[in-house]
């Protein structure tokens, strides 16, 4: 509705402009005319007159015609647009009516299908009830047959149990006889093994006593060797102190003394490693008099300790080397020197071991 009002206003505007131009033209014509009836008086002045330009009149007329044609064209366009809109609405109305018709047809089909489905459901329900009744009858017959079968089966089970009980009694008697024979054999075997175990235990006890005595002797000797090494180290330290105090300017002598000190310290740590491996060695009589060379790599862990990073056999008795390698791994930690020169030596060194 607002669109129609806007279109009507758009047509009124050029009409009002045209009407206003006509009014202006009419007033101009009247203004130029003289309607007085007095007699003309002769004067010496010129008569003034309003002259209308025909070209201007034609232009205004042409403009009015163009405005009317434009207004007529817009009106026609409006009418055409209204006609198209009316046709579109009519088309939509017909399409909606067609949709309603199809919907009603579909509803009718659905209602018919529902009635037929209900009819089939009723028939199926009747069939189901008939089938259920037949199954109930069959179930009763099957239950009676099952009861008869169970009675017969119970009789067979009872007879089978009696037969198995007799066989079990015979088997039990046989098992008891076999068990008694087996128990007698096991008792004899146990007595034999106990005797052999006692003999082995006695042999092991004697061997362990020998090993303990040998280990005690070795420990005593190692302790004495360590004491001697410590005494020698202290003497060497005292000698070095004397040398350093009296011969500070003699660099060559100092270097010789330092090298000797390093060699002594190296020997001392080798002795300590010998004792450490000896403590963890599983000693055998065949190891006596044999020798083994191991390559040991140590990694410092702080303080004066180091752990075994890797150990490998270089040469020597195979069995002794295997046992010495296992003892080295078992020991795990070794004393480690604080002197950087000695540390470089014992990070990766060959160790000669003789139990």
Task: Decide if 282 contacts 292 (C-beta within 8 A).
Answer: no
Going by the DSSP 8-state scheme, the letter that residue 336 receives in this structure is -
Q: What is the pLDDT of residue 4?
A: 57
Sign of CA dihedral 269, 274, 277, 278: negative
Q: What is the pLDDT of residue 250?
A: 60
Domains and CATH numbers, the chain: 256-353 (3.30.1150.10)
Q: What is the pLDDT of residue 3?
A: 54
Token couple for 144: 């009676």
The packing angle between helices 54-246 and 2-32, to 10°, is: 130
Which SS3 state, helix, strand or coil, does residue 305 take?
strand
Q: What is the pLDDT of residue 81?
A: 93
> Of all helices (H) and strands (E), which one includes residue 276?
helix 251-279
Quote the radius of gyration of the chain (alpha carbons, Å). Answer: 67
Q: What is the pLDDT of residue 288?
A: 87
3-state helix, strand and coil shares in percent for the chain, rounded to the nearest 5: 80, 10, 15
Token couple for 317: 């008795």
Q: What is the pLDDT of residue 150?
A: 93
pTM here is 0.31
Q: What is the pLDDT of residue 34?
A: 45
Which SS3 state, helix, strand or coil, does residue 173 take?
helix
**Residue written as tokens 């006889």?**
177
Give the torsion through C-alpha atoms of 78, 82, 84, 90, to 10 deg.
180
- What gap in Å lies between CA 284 and CA 323, rounded to an integer? 9
Q: Give average pLDDT by consecutive 10-residue segment, the chain, 355 residues.
A: 55 67 64 47 51 83 92 93 92 91 91 91 93 92 89 88 89 88 84 82 80 77 81 79 64 71 89 92 88 93 89 93 93 88 89 89
């Amino acid at each position: 509705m607002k669109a129609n009002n806007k279109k009507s206003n758009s047509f009124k505007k050029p009409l009002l402009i045209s009407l206003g131009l006509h009014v202006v033209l009419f007033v101009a014509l009247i203004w130029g005319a003289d309607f007085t009836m007095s007699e003309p008086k002769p004067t010496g002045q010129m008569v003034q007159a309003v002259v209308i330009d025909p070209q201007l009149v034609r232009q205004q007329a042409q403009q009015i015609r163009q405005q009317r044609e434009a207004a007529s064209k817009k009106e026609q366009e409006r009418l055409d647009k209204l006609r198209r809109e009316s046709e579109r609405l009519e088309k939509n109305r017909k399409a909606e009516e067609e949709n309603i018709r199809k919907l009603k047809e579909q509803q009718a089909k659905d209602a018919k299908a529902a009635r037929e489905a209900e009819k089939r459901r009723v028939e199926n329900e009747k069939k189901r009830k008939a089938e259920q009744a037949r199954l109930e009858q069959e179930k009763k017959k099957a239950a009676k047959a099952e009861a008869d079968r169970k009675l017969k089966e119970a009789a067979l089970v009872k007879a089978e149990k009696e037969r198995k009980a007799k066989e079990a009694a015979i088997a039990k008697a046989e098992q008891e006889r076999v068990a008694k024979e087996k128990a007698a054999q096991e008792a004899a075997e146990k007595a034999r093994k106990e005797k052999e175990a006692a003999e082995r235990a006695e042999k092991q006890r004697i061997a362990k006593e020998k090993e303990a005595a040998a280990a005690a002797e070795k420990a005593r000797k190692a302790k004495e060797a360590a004491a001697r090494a410590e005494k020698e180290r202290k003497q060497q330290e005292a000698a070095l102190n004397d040398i350093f105090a009296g011969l500070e300017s003699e660099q060559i002598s100092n270097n010789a003394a330092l090298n000797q000190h390093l060699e002594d310290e190296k020997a001392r740590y080798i002795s300590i490693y010998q004792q450490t491996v000896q403590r963890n060695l599983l000693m055998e009589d065949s190891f006596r008099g044999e020798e083994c060379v191991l390559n040991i790599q140590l990694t410092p862990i702080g303080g004066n300790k180091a752990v075994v990073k890797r150990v490998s056999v270089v040469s020597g008795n195979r069995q002794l080397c295997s046992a010495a390698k296992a003892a080295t791994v078992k020991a795990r930690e070794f004393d480690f020197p604080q002197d950087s020169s000695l540390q470089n030596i014992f990070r990766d060194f060959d160790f000669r071991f003789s139990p």
